[in-house]
Structure 1
C-alpha cells in the first residue's frame, strides 16, 4: 500500500526537522501542540535516515495530576512508535518566578538525560520567539534578551523557530494527534500568556500582519550584535575588567557588556540592565557614591577599581 502523502503543514514541520544534521535526537515533549508535532516529524525523519530518536517528557509536578499528564504524553508518543520516558523534577522558586524556575529545572533535567552524540530538540516556534522579544522590550532589556532564543545552543536545537503556531496546530490536525492543552498557557497571571493572548493579536490587528516575523528578524539582528559584543568583551584583559580608567575609554555598549560579564563572573545572578546602568555610573559619573546594590551584594569604587562586596546569608553586607 502506498504511503499517504503528508499534508502541507506536516510537510513544513518535517522539512524544518530534515534541515538538521544527522545524529541521535531526544525530543523534549510536553504533549502540547508544538512539541507533539515536532516529535512526530523527528520520528518520521529519523526513520527515513535510520538514525536513533526518542522523547523525554518532563513532569514539573506543579499541578495536580501532572504525573498522569506525563504518562498520557508518553502513551501518545508510543501510539505512533516513538519511545519516550517521563522525568519528574522538583521546581524550586529561588525568586525568579515560577515560569523561570520551571524552565531552569526543565533544561537541567534534559541536559542530564542527554546521551553522548545526542541533540535535544525543542519545539519553540515563531510565536515563542516573538513573545520572548516583546517580554525583553517590556523589561527594558539589552541586546542579550532581545536576541531571543538561538536556533542552536549547547546540546539544544530549535528547528521550528521559523514556523508559526498555526502550522503545528494544523500538522496535529492532519495527523489526527490530540495535543494536551496546558492550563497554565491560558492563565493571564503570567506575562507571557498576556503577550500571547492580548498584545500580539492587538499588534497584528492594528499594525498589520507580519509582526511576528519582524520581531524574529529583530531577534536575529540583536543576536548578531550580541555575538560581536561577546567577541570584543572576551578580548578584554581580565585584569582590566574592573579598572575604571580602562572602562571609561570603552564604547558605551562594549563597556556595559564588560560590566555585565564582570558581575556574572563575580557570582551576581539575575543581572538586569538597570543594575548594569547603575554600576556604569560608578565609572562614568563618579561623585564619591557609597555604592550600588546588586543581587547578592554591593558594588563600590575604591582606588579607581570596582569592588563587589557579597552579602552574608542574612542579606547583610559582609
Structure 2
C-alpha cells in the first residue's frame, strides 16, 4: 500500500513529551541526515508512533514503512491502520510490507531478520529511523552481559549504524506513551511484547523492575550510559585494530610475529575482523580465544573451525609457517 500524504501535517502540542522527542529527533537529523529526508519503521506501537509524529514535525520529508509479519490474526488490519495514522500525521507516503517469517534462531530472531530485510529493500536509499528507546538500550545491554562476549556485546545499539537510525536512545519509553496520549493516538499493543516466552519480555517485566527496587532506581539510564561509554572506547580500539590488521596482513594470511606483539584487546579485534571478512558468522568469544591461542599459546594444536562455512565445508583457521591462514575444508 502506498499513498501520498504530507499536505496535512498534524501539529504537535507543546507538551513536555512532544518537546523531548522533537529535540531528540532534531539532534539526530542535524548529525546524520541534514537534508531532512528519512524513512521511519512504523509498527503501530507507542514508540514508533511517537517517533513518526516527531519526525514529521522536524524532518522535511518522512516516508513510513510498516512491516506486517503476518504472525497474528488481524495483522493486516493493524498494519493498514498504522499506515492511515502515518498519513494523518503528515508522512509523504505509507507502505505496508508483508513478510514471511522463517529461519533459524527462534521466532523473535526470524521476525527481526525478516523485518530488517524488508525495510532495507523498501527504503529507497533513505536512512530508516527506528523507535528504540533508552529502555530498549538497557535491555540490550543486559542481554549482552548475559552472553559474556566482552565489551562489544554490552555496548548496545548505536544511534546510527547505516542505514538504521535510533534518535530515541536517550528517551524513556514512558515519554513515547505520553506523546501518543497527547495526540489522542491509541497504540497497538503487540501480544508478543507481553509474552514471557521471550527473554527480552522477562527482562522488561521482571528483571529490570527488580534491579530498580534492589539498587534504588536509575538502573536503565545507568546501563544506557555504560553502553555509550563502551561504544566511544570501542570506536578507538576498532580503529587501532584496523591498523594492526593492515600491518599483519599478507596475501590473506596474518603474520604471527606482528599479532603476538600487539595488546590482546587489539589483537582479538583484528582477528575478529579478519574472520568476518572471510565469511565467518556467529562468532563467539570461544572462537576468538581459540584462534588467539594459535598466536599466543601455540602447543601444536590443530585448526579452529568457525561458523559461516559453505554447505558441506568448514571454515578453519590454522597456524602454518609463522602465519594464521584460513581455508574451507570438507566437513
TM surpasses 0.5: yes
Query: Does the 8 Å CA contact 2:133/2:168 hold for their aligned counterparts?
Result: yes
Kindly report which structure 2 residues correspond to 1:226-241, keeping only aligned pairs within 5 A, or say none. 226-236=234-244, 237=246, 238-239=249-250
| 2:114 counterpart residue number | 105
Q: Is 1:56–1:87's contact at 8 Å kept on the other side of the alignment?
A: yes
Q: Distance in 2 between matches of 1:100 and 1:311?
A: 29
Matching residue of 1:210: 218
Q: Shift of the alpha carbon at 1:310?
A: 2.7
Q: Where does the alignment leave 5 or more consecutive residues of structure 2 unmatched?
A: 1-10
Report what 1:54 is aligned to: 63
Runs of 4+ in 1 over 6 A off after TM superposition: none
For 1:131-210, list aligned pairs within 5 A. Answer: 131-210=139-218
SS in 2 for 1:235: helix
1:258 and 2:276 equivalent? no
Q: SS where residue 242 of structure 1 aligns?
A: strand
Q: How big is each residue's C-alpha offset from its partner over 1:73-92, in whole Å with a ceiling of 9 and x where there is no partner?
A: 11232343433111122333
Q: Which residue of 1 aligns with 2:101?
A: 91
Alignment match, 1:35: 48
Relative distance call for 1:253 and 1:305 in structure 2 (3 A) is same
Is the 1:241–1:259 contact (alpha carbons within 8 Å) kept by the matching residues of 2?
Answer: no
C-alpha distance 4-180 of structure 1, shift in aligned 2 (>3 A): closer
Equivalent position SS for 1:203: helix
| Gapped regions of structure 1 (runs ≥ 5) | none
Q: TM-score, normalising length from structure 2?
A: 0.86
CA shift in 2, pair 1:62/1:306, >3 Å: farther
How many residue pairs end up in the alignment? 305
1:63-120 alpha-carbon deviations (Å, 9 max, x no partner)? 3433232122112323434331111223331x3433333223322222222235x332
CA distance in 2, matches of 1:180, 1:30: 8
TM-score, structure 1 as length reference: 0.89
- CA RMSD of superposed structures (Å): 2.0
Partner of 2:72: 63
Shift in Å, 1:311:
5.3
Shift in Å, 1:194:
1.5
